[in-house]
């Protein structure tokens, strides 16, 4: 008789214990991290806002894909290198930006390629190649002259080091022509994180840029123009 009285309450408690355990687990799963607001923009994004006489466009830089190329660009932009720079050449495929007050700085950066930044769409930002044919064969990027595509150019894949993509103002990019000029390039985001790993290289780059500062006009004959789309404008 006493045994039956003890067994019945034990069975009745089992569902209650299971229910309590399940409620506790569900409450734990429902916890959220209030330190990360829903829809917040990732703090790691690094952008360049390029202001031109035609308007502005914004480049999303990709240090995760091309860390050296981005560090080089950010260093140049933050030093004011492109302020007042000219659109050196333009065609239906792309346009290039160069500061003609400088000679080509005596330094190079390594080629970097990624399948996430292929030339399969307009708005891809990349370095042109060096003028030396031997360096062209090795796809060595020009240290200061960059270009932006106006249309898709698949033949350029894995040849030119791309390091960013236009995410706003593509209409400005499409309308840009030779002779337009850059008012400013403003870096938005944590540029220190992109520059810090390359501090020693940046010292070398800046020393070379300082030596290249005086303008040199050689007065040589212009090269034979390439067909539109055969190579990035300005190459």
pLDDT digits (tens, 9 = 90+) for 146-157: 999 999 999 999
Question: pLDDT digits over 68-127, tens only?
Answer: 999 999 999 999 999 999 999 999 999 999 998 898 999 999 999 999 999 999 999 999
In the chain, domain spans? 46-211
Model confidence at 7, pLDDT cuts 50, 70, 90, reads: very low
Class of the CATH domain delimited by 46-211: mainly beta
pLDDT at 24: 43
Q: Return the structure tokens found at 102.
A: 């400088």
Q: How far apart are CA 24 and CA 20, in angstroms?
A: 6
| CA dihedral of residues 142, 137, 166, 188 (deg, nearest 10) | -40
Q: Which helix (H) or strand (E) holds 2?
A: helix 2-29
């Amino acid at each position: 008789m006493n045994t039956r009285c003890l067994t019945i309450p034990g069975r009745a408690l089992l569902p209650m214990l299971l229910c309590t355990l399940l409620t506790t687990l569900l409450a734990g799963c429902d916890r959220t991290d209030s330190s990360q607001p829903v829809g917040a923009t990732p703090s790691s994004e690094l952008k360049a806002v390029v202001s031109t006489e035609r308007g502005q466009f914004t480049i999303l830089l990709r240090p995760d894909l091309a860390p050296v190329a981005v560090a080089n660009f950010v260093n140049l932009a933050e030093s004011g290198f492109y302020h007042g720079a000219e659109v050196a050449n333009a065609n239906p495929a792309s346009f290039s930006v160069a500061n003609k007050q400088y000679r080509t700085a005596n330094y190079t950066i390594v080629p970097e390629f990624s399948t996430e930044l292929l030339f399969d769409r307009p708005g891809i930002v990349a370095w042109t190649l060096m003028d030396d044919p031997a360096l062209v064969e090795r796809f060595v990027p020009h240290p200061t002259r960059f270009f932006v595509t106006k249309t898709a150019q698949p033949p350029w894949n894995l040849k030119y080091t791309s390091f960013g993509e236009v995410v706003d103002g593509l209409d400005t990019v499409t309308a840009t022509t030779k002779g337009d000029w850059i008012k400013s390039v403003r870096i938005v985001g944590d540029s220190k994180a992109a520059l810090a790993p390359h501090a020693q290289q940046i010292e070398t780059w800046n020393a070379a840029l300082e030596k290249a500062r005086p303008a040199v006009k050689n007065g040589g004959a212009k090269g034979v123009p390439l067909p539109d789309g055969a190579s990035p404008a300005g190459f």
